[in-house]
Amino acid sequence: MKKHILIISVILVINGCGHLSDQSIHKNKESSAVNAGSYYEQLNSLLSRKKLKVYPKTSDRDINRIEVEKGGAGVLYGSTTDDVIAIWGKPSGFLINDIRDSWDMYIGACRFGFVENSLVYISIHNVTVPDAKFDNGISFESSIEDVLDAFGEPSKASDYFYTFRNDNGFVIKFHFTPDSKNKDIEKLIAVSIYHPDAGK
């Protein structure tokens, strides 16, 4: 595997040198044409980078409301990537698994997961949606004890993650981390909700 990578790297360097020498000969017009047709540039133009505090454009739904069996952050399960972008604007990145046709779309510090372009999970971060909360009152101000009182025994607990599964197969995951001001206190920083179709 290492030999193949090395050979490919050498070829790329040689091709790159040839390409650079061509550019130095043909200068402005052709180099701008290459940039205009660049696959990277086209993809990059679709993204909005390095923004964690993102504000939604509009939504008929309450952006701060988390409904385990419906959705959260202003979007419903079953929404398409276009539906989410219409509310939140350009994503900051994608992670694509071509085997299952599943996409993770990152917007701000949040993540939206799709299977065949249908929203199946939402990860909400306190940086992007600081006032998010469940109908039972659990919010980013809640402690681990509050979460356990509200959701009962977790189906899985490890380190700072607590996972719950309700009777209809929906999964709720809470991510805590030590507070920067007081290491003895764990602060809730992210909440994820999963539709059964997410396969969690």
pLDDT (tens digit per residue) in 15-28: 444 444 444 444 45
Region of residue 71 (left: phi > 0; alpha: psi -120 to 50; beta: else): left
pLDDT (tens digit per residue) in 88-101: 999 999 998 877 78
Q: Are 99 and 185 part of one and the same domain? A: yes
| Residue with the two structure tokens 């997961």 | 113
Q: What is the pTM of this model?
A: 0.77
Task: Tell me the residue range of the domain where 169 lies.
Answer: 65-198
- pLDDT band of 127, cuts 50, 70, 90: very high
Q: Are 70 and 126 part of one and the same domain? A: yes
User: Does residue 81 form part of some domain?
Assistant: yes
Q: Are 73 and 157 part of one and the same domain? A: yes
Long-range contacts, 3-9 (Cβ 8 Å, 24+): none
| Residue with the two structure tokens 């180099």 | 31
- pLDDT band of 199, cuts 50, 70, 90: confident
Number of structural domains (the chain) is 2
